Structure 1
Amino acid sequence: MPNPLDKIKAQVKKLSAYTLNAPECRVKINQNENPYDMPEEIKTQVLARLSNRPWSRYPAFVPVDLLVTMARFSSWRADGILAGNGSNELIQALLTVTVGPGTKVLISEPTFTLYRLLIEVLGGEVISLPLTSDLQYDTNLIKHTVKEKAIDLVIICSPNNPTGGVIKDKDLIELLADFSGLVILDEAYHEFSEHTVVPLLKQFSNLIVLRTFSKAMAMAGLRVGYLLSHPDLAREIAKAKKLIAERERLFAALSQIPGLQPIPSQANFILTKTSITPSELMAKLQAKDILARDVSRYPMLKDYVRFSVGTEKENNELIETLQEIFTNLPQFSPHL
């Protein structure tokens, strides 16, 4: 029997899982949560609103009212804000549109482990710098390395997790002014420092700020995060956010079609093993005016095709056509 892990990316298999052992205990101080729960009256209001909404319907893809409220709350423009299922989803969407093979991303470690995990999964190169001896950002080293190593992207968590240190405005301004790439500033803990870099968004279009309601706002269980950036950047990141959702939906649909075996993907495409020859499948798809990619010439991919993640309409057409093709086959090859 073939090993199902053989087709998983090598850079994924070598990584440690992003996980946490969370046994029941009397004192829980291991996840930087707010120890004070949301007031009961607010919970009651939220639940009342939820009960009046149809749960069978998808919410609006662009939550306009929420973005307008966030704009007032954060003192930034609504068209430069994205909301997500926790800031982790937005970090993934942001790195999806900026990181690929050969992309150099600078981080100072120790820091939030998800940055390195996602960069490596996406094929980027992590350029890691140490903190100073007193566990603060070495901004001189950061600015030097950005020029010396031709860095594409800088990620700074401020206040930093797990050290609590911050980057000073003066140093951040100098970095932004001299750097042509993007600087991601993760402000997950900014309420505790009583400081924010959001005012700098008006001056620097290469700054992106990440925030969450999980920490100071005591909403970790609801997974609400948001991103603030130049409106043009927000629109591009929103595309990736939608593509990620479509990728997961397409993967689930392909998994249900006998004769197809999709491989989990962190990119904007899905590699898929097929029970008929890739050339035959390509011909059947092309007859329906659908173009996909035969990748059977690659080493180890003799029985594989590749589907790019399209629009919702394109993905629906692909799913329906594949269901029709494989339903009408007399039998499926046993090698799947």
Structure 2
Amino acid sequence: MIPVRDDLRALDGYHSAQVDVDVRLNTNESPFGPPDGFRDALAAELSRVDWNRYPDRAANALRADIADLHGCDPAQVFVANGSNEVLQTVLLAYAGPGRTVATFEPTYQMHAQIARVTGATVYEGERGVDFTLDPTEVERVLAVAAPHVVFLTSPNNPTGLVEPRERVEQLLDSAPGLVVVDEAYAQFADWTALDMVDEARPLVVTRTFSKTWSMAGARLGYLVGPTWLVAELDKVVLPYHLDVVKQLAGRIALRFTAAMNDRVEILVSERDRISAALRALPIDVFDSGANFVLFRPTAIAGRAVWQQLVDRSILVRDCSSWPRLDDCLRVTVGTPDENDRFLSAIDTIVSPS
């Protein structure tokens, strides 16, 4: 048996419980299928594909459509197989051996995971007990680590916290390298850093089609950044990395922006309903600007609550073993009926008999 690289021996792969349940609220997907007309439109386009030919290597048409959505130049857009490949490509270009990547924990686990896989050193800053990010801690991390890449996730996963604009401005003013703002859940929040992207700032904003666009099954993500940075990514991305199906699906999805916005309104309303209902129980609830809610039962251990929910065929994300997240669980916002079932079950579980 050939040993893996020494620096990978201690790493674990990405894990999320796969349990057969009636109500699946653990992976932050959209609970709604694609809008009416999406499947027929995609099928019609696929019927005309020249399958013997490679796809557009640069995904020019998709990049142009995304640029139209955000009012930027197509040369500022990079697309890949899910936002994770976008992040990987950025780290291959700007991190790697001998370089440092900074994160502020707890946050999205794959930032540190992908950075380590590329050979970079990861420096973890600390959030407060309420998961907010103290500007003094930001300055400390930047001074000590001098990171080549620093991640800020807004809304943050798994906490749901929306970072204030001044925190992004602080990073841009003080960070010695590239600032990556991960906005996988930005459509559910009240602001975006997209308008801060320009040619003079080392800033990229990453997005995904998995959540609001009901396309988790397609694995499609993108970033918006300076044209000089996007051009550098072509040096490390594999040729023809984005297949023709993804490119067509992404373009067709953008025809349904109004339907997507309607769904976002529903999910935000349901998120607020879930948060309010949980706060009426013996549960600590953390403010969320995403399509999920992080909470900590105070009368029963988080893992025990998770298991009792599974016993009722409801699956949420068990975060209780993660650093700084003792007894925490995370529930994805589902359909109104799914949310009703979750709220009824957890009321029964945690309320005094």
| Normalised TM-score (structure 1) | 0.68
- Unmatched tracts of structure 2, length 5 or more: 242-353
What residue number does 2:14 align with? Answer: 18
Asked which structure has the greater RCO (Cα within 8 Å, sep 6+), the reply is 2
Residue number in structure 2 paired with 1:66: 62
Residue of structure 2 aligned with 1:28, choices 1, 17, 24:
24
Alpha-carbon distance in 2 for matches of 1:34, 1:205: 33
129, 133, 146: which is aligned to 2:129?
133
Other-structure match for 2:238: 242
Question: Given residue 66 of structure 1, which amino acid in structure 2 is its aligned partner?
Answer: L
| Counterpart Cα distance in 1 of 2:170 and 2:200 | 11
1:253-292 residue CA offsets vs partner (Å, 9 max, x unmatched):
xxxxxxxxxxxxxxxxxxxxxxxxxxxxxxxxxxxxxxxx
Letter in 2 for 1:130: E
Worse overlay, 143-152 or 224-233: 143-152
2:78 counterpart SS class? strand
Q: In the alignment, is residue 101 of structure 1 matched against residue 97 of structure 2?
A: yes
Secondary structure, in 3 states, of the residue corresponding to 1:202?
A: coil
Q: Distance in 2 between matches of 1:43 and 1:75?
A: 27
1:143-171 Cα shifts (integer Å, max 9, x gaps): 23202332222111111110011221122
1:248-263 equivalences in 2 (<5 Å): none
1:142-200 Cα offsets, whole Å, 9 max, x none, are 12320233222211111111001122112211220222311000000000003210111
Separation in 2, partners of 1:136, 1:243 = 40
Letter in 1 for 2:224: L
Sequence identity, in percent?
31
Partner of residue 169, structure 1: 165
What corresponds to 2:82 in structure 1? 86
Tell me what 1:210 maps to: 206
Q: Which amino acid aligns with 2:168?
A: L
C-alpha separation between the residues in 1 aligned to 2:36 and 2:118?
A: 42
**Structure 1 position 190 matched with structure 2 position 174:** no
Q: Identify which of 175, 181, 187 aligns with 1:179.
A: 175
Letter of the 2:38 partner, please give it. I
Structure 1 stretch displaced more, 44-53 or 202-211: 202-211
Q: Give secondary structure in 1 for the equivalent of 2:223.
A: strand
Report the alpha carbon displacement of residue 20 of structure 1 after superposing the two structures with TM.
Answer: 2.4
User: How do 1:270-289 and structure 2 match up within 5 A?
Assistant: none
Match of 1:119 in 2: 115
Q: Is the 8 A contact 1:136 1:166 kept in 2?
A: no
Shift of 1:128: 0.5
Gaps (5+ residues) in structure 1? 246-336
Taking the aligned partners of 2:113 and 2:170, their CA distance within structure 1 comes to: 28
Letter in 2 for 1:149: A
**Alpha carbons 1:83, 1:227 under 8 Å: kept:** yes
Aligned position for 1:201: 197
The code of the aligned residue for 2:105 comes to: E
| Correspondences of 1:321-336 after superposition (within 5 Å) | none
**Aligned counterparts of 1:91 and 1:129: Cα–Cα separation in 2:** 19
Corresponding residue SS for 1:221: coil
SS in 1 for 2:237: helix
Amino acid at match of 1:38: P
The 1-side partners of 2:120 and 2:130 are apart by 29
Task: State the AA in 1 paired with 2:172.
Answer: L
Cα deviation per residue 1:287-323 (whole Å; 9 max; x = unaligned)?
A: xxxxxxxxxxxxxxxxxxxxxxxxxxxxxxxxxxxxx
Match of 1:299 in 2: none
Q: Is the 8 Å Cα contact of residues 213 and 220 (structure 1) preserved in structure 2?
A: yes
Report the CA distance between 1:75 and its aligned residue. Answer: 2.0
**How far off is 1:244 after superposition?**
10
| C-alpha distance in structure 2 between counterparts of 1:138 and 1:127, whole Å | 16
Q: Tell me what 2:48 maps to.
A: 52
Tell me how far apart the structure 2 counterparts of residues 243 and 95 of structure 1 sit (CA, whole Å): 17
SS in 1 for 2:97: coil
> SS where residue 209 of structure 1 aligns?
strand
Specify whether residues 244 and 20 from structure 1 end up closer, same or farther in structure 2 by C-alpha distance, changes over 3 A only: farther
Give the secondary-structure state (helix, strand or coil) at the position aligned to 1:128: strand
Corresponding position of 2:139: 143
Deviation at 1:133, TM superposition (A): 1.2
Separation of aligned partners in 2, 1:42 and 1:160: 30
1:16-61 deviation line (CA, Å, top 9, x unaligned): 1113232321001110001011123111111110121122321110
Partner Cα distance (1:243, 1:42) in 2: 28
Paired residues, number? 242
Cα 1:133–1:203, aligned 2, differ >3 Å: closer, same or farther?
Answer: farther
Shift of 1:13: 2.1
Cα distance, 1:124 vs structure 2: 1.3
Note if 1:233 corresponds to 2:233.
no
1:82 and 1:238 in contact (8 A); partners too: no
- Judged with a 3 Å threshold, the aligned counterparts in structure 2 of structure 1 residues 16 and 244 are, in CA distance, closer, same or farther, namely farther
